[in-house]
Amino acid sequence: METTRLSIPNISCLHCVKAIQRELTEINGVLRVEGNPEAKDILVEWQSPASKEKIKAALKEINYPAAE
């Protein structure tokens, strides 16, 4: 299992966090998604077949791209 913390500048509220959680938990292998609107970041726990690239692609698709 891997843990990734991503900075998401577009997060502004808990609704944003819920939208991200809904989208990312649909990815096979994503185990947990937590978000912090104040810090503008998310914590994702995942295992194969999920990957950091898949997670970042899903975030970009829903207009919450991760900062590089």
Q: Does residue 17 lie in a domain region? A: yes
Task: Give residue 45's domain range.
Answer: 2-61
Instruction: Work out the end-to-end distance of the chain between its first and last CA atoms, rounded to an integer number of angstroms.
Output: 22
Sheet holding 2-7, edge to edge: 2-7, 41-46, 30-36
Query: Whole-model pTM?
Result: 0.92
CATH code of 9's domain: 3.30.70.100
Per residue in 14-50, pLDDT (tens digit) is 999 999 999 999 999 999 999 999 999 999 999 999 9
